[in-house]
Amino acid sequence: MIDFKVIGTPILLRNIKKIDPESIEAYIETGGYEALKKALKKSPDELLEEVKKSELRGRGGAGFPTGIKFEIAKNQKETPKFVVVNAEEGEPGTFKDRIILENDPHLVIEGAILAAYIIGANYGYIAIRPDYTLAIKRLEKAIQDAYKYGFLGDNILGSNFSFHLKIKRGAGAYICGEETALLEMIEGKRGEPRKKPPFPPQKGLYGKPTVVNNVETLANLPFIIYYGSEEFKKYGVEGSYGTKLFCMSGDVSWKGIIEIPFGVKLSEIISLAGGVKGGKLKAVILGGVSGSLVKYDEVDIEVDYHSLGRIQAGPGCGTIIVLNDKRDIVDVCENIMRFFKDESCGKCFPCRLGTEASYRIIKKIKEKKANLHDLFNLERICKTMKNASFCGLGQTAPNIILQSLQKFKDEWLSHIS
């Protein structure tokens, strides 16, 4: 099992390794489904206010305010409405959703039911990557048990609220984590992104209002609804409330998941993971390979949206890939662009051609066969991809390359013949 650590008091990992993940009774004994019982005594409007006041932001990468998303979906007249749990988790180095789903599946199910009650959805899907077999097995059992206990189905716990939840095995492609491609995939079509707007809360699954939320985002809802937004905001710092899961990998002594309240320093998180392995710290890939590159002299920074924004970084989906000083930055970038070229869905040409062309140039640079003109072209292609691509994949694929060209310019130049 993937190991985990916590700074402070956990919200999301509170049940991990403490309860039997296959037992709904064990979840109930720890206060599970109490938030749902409490919620059903209140109006969806009251609960929406609570989520908005909590200032919870999406944990899938973009950090969009969850309450606002719910409000948009709730205000739509069209029915039926849907809740989609995004459990695709395709970002390299990310495995936090897996940990929650395998070890505390009811936490996510309860979160999805709460979201559905707030927006008025009667149907939901957990869209999960197909290789998360243990998580799928445990979710299947957990959903069955939740139906048996009357937490799912018609007239939940005697109320007039009904919600049905199903598992949808994903296609295993990175692009299927993008919310509109995910909806296409659930509808049985090829997983390609849709044009936005309209956004899913306006026009989502089968053209109906839909909230798509990350597993970790929804796992916060039982706490917020049961204890209230005030309690939630005791964790974290202004503008970044609650806790966040980070997946530690790369050149670090300990690999696993760390739950921290927002505001803890990046350097502290790396120390908790036993520090850098095999050399000195060179950089951190933060928030996924579509995220940002934090240089060794920048890691003494608080991990929250505002502080990280000052160095053009962000927590993203919660990935910390540590690079030691033996790593060649060009080699790292080649790996990253190889991933994006393979995962580009091909729908738009800035990304389809841009990922391929930039990969070829990086490879040439790595082999020391490139000149300054190639380096200039790489930067130009990356900027075009960022500005002109149709969806988030192409818009973020060049992030690390562009940041490394600034932060490790000399290293790139040392490869030029």
Ligand X SMILES: Cc1cc2nc3c(=O)[nH]c(=O)nc-3n(C[C@H](O)[C@H](O)[C@H](O)COP(=O)(O)O)c2cc1C
Q: List contacts with ligand SF4 (CB under 6 A).
A: 175, 193, 344-348, 351-352, 389-391, 393-394
Nearer to ligand SF4, 270 or 393 (CB): 393
The answer to whether the beta carbons of residues 86 and 212 sit under 8 Å apart is yes
105 binds ligand X (CB under 6 A): no
- 105-119 vs 44-54: helix axis angle to the nearest 10? 120
Cβ atoms within 10 A of the Cβ of 390, count?
19
Please select the residue that binds ligand X; options are 50, 55, 71, 89, rule is CB under 6 A. 89
In the complex, the smallest distance separating the C-beta of residue 330 from ligand X, rounded to whole angstroms, is 24
Nearer to ligand SF4, 21 or 394 (CB): 394
Instruction: Indicate which of ligand X, ligand SF4, none lies near residue 90 (CB less than 5 to 8 Å, by partner kind).
Output: ligand X
Nearer to ligand X, 32 or 315 (CB): 315
Please select the residue that binds ligand X; options are 64, 227, 296, 305, rule is CB under 6 A. 64
Please select the residue that binds ligand X; options are 103, 210, 213, 344, rule is CB under 6 A. 213
Give residue 262's Cα distance to chain centre. Answer: 15
**Per the structure block, which two tokens stand in for 14?**
């509170």
Q: Report the DSSP pairing between strands 319-324 and 243-250.
A: parallel
Query: Which range binds ligand X by CB under 6 A, 28-36, 174-182, 274-282, 379-387?
Result: 174-182
d(Cα 116, Cα 127) in Å, to the nearest integer? 16
Burial zone of 196 (CB within 10 Å; 0-12 exposed, 13-18 middle, 19+ buried): middle
d(Cα 383, Cα 350) in Å, to the nearest integer? 10
Instruction: Indicate which of ligand SF4, ligand X, none lies near residue 96 (CB less than 5 to 8 Å, by partner kind).
Output: none
DSSP 8-state assignment for residue 2: -
Please select the residue that binds ligand X; options are 21, 90, 291, 398, rule is CB under 6 A. 90
Query: Which range binds ligand X by CB under 6 A, 81-89, 137-145, 149-157, 254-262?
Result: 81-89
User: ∠ CA 9-10-13 to the nearest 5 degrees?
Assistant: 155
Please identify which residue in the block is written with the tokens 């979710």. Answer: 139
In the complex, the smallest distance separating the C-beta of residue 3 from ligand X, rounded to whole angstroms, is 22
Nearer to ligand SF4, 204 or 209 (CB): 204
The answer to whether the beta carbons of residues 243 and 286 sit under 8 Å apart is no
Nearer to ligand X, 85 or 281 (CB): 85
Query: Which range binds ligand X by CB under 6 A, 148-156, 172-180, 250-258, 307-315?
Result: 172-180
55 binds ligand X (CB under 6 A): no
Question: Is residue 212 within a helix (H) or strand (E), and if so which, with residue range?
Answer: strand 210-214
Instruction: Indicate which of ligand SF4, ligand X, none lies near residue 212 (CB less than 5 to 8 Å, by partner kind).
Output: ligand X
**Per the structure block, which two tokens stand in for 142?**
């957990």
d(Cα 348, Cα 379) in Å, to the nearest integer? 19
Nearer to ligand X, 251 or 343 (CB): 343
In the complex, the smallest distance separating the C-beta of residue 282 from ligand X, rounded to whole angstroms, is 26
d(Cα 100, Cα 376) in Å, to the nearest integer? 44
Please select the residue that binds ligand X; options are 175, 186, 289, 365, rule is CB under 6 A. 175
- 393-412 positions binding ligand X, by CB under 6 A: 393
Cα-Cα-Cα-Cα torsion 220, 222, 226, 229, nearest 10 degrees, comes to: 20
Instruction: Indicate which of ligand SF4, ligand X, none lies near residue 237 (CB less than 5 to 8 Å, by partner kind).
Output: none
Residue in 171, 162, 66, 150 with CA at minimum distance from that of residue 121: 162
In the complex, the smallest distance separating the C-beta of residue 130 from ligand X, rounded to whole angstroms, is 13
Nearer to ligand SF4, 240 or 290 (CB): 290
In the complex, the smallest distance separating the C-beta of residue 243 from ligand X, rounded to whole angstroms, is 15
Cβ atoms within 10 A of the Cβ of 19, count?
19
212 binds ligand X (CB under 6 A): yes
d(Cα 363, Cα 388) in Å, to the nearest integer? 23
d(Cα 314, Cα 304) in Å, to the nearest integer? 7
d(Cα 338, Cα 357) in Å, to the nearest integer? 11
Please select the residue that binds ligand X; options are 50, 55, 71, 88, rule is CB under 6 A. 88
Query: Which range binds ligand X by CB under 6 A, 82-90, 301-309, 318-326, 372-380?
Result: 82-90
86 binds ligand X (CB under 6 A): yes
The answer to whether the beta carbons of residues 386 and 402 sit under 8 Å apart is yes
Cα-Cα-Cα-Cα torsion 340, 316, 273, 329, nearest 10 degrees, comes to: 40
214 binds ligand X (CB under 6 A): yes
Nearer to ligand X, 123 or 199 (CB): 199
**Which residues contact ligand X (rule: CB under 6 A)?**
58-62, 64, 86, 88-90, 174-175, 177-179, 212-214, 217, 391-393
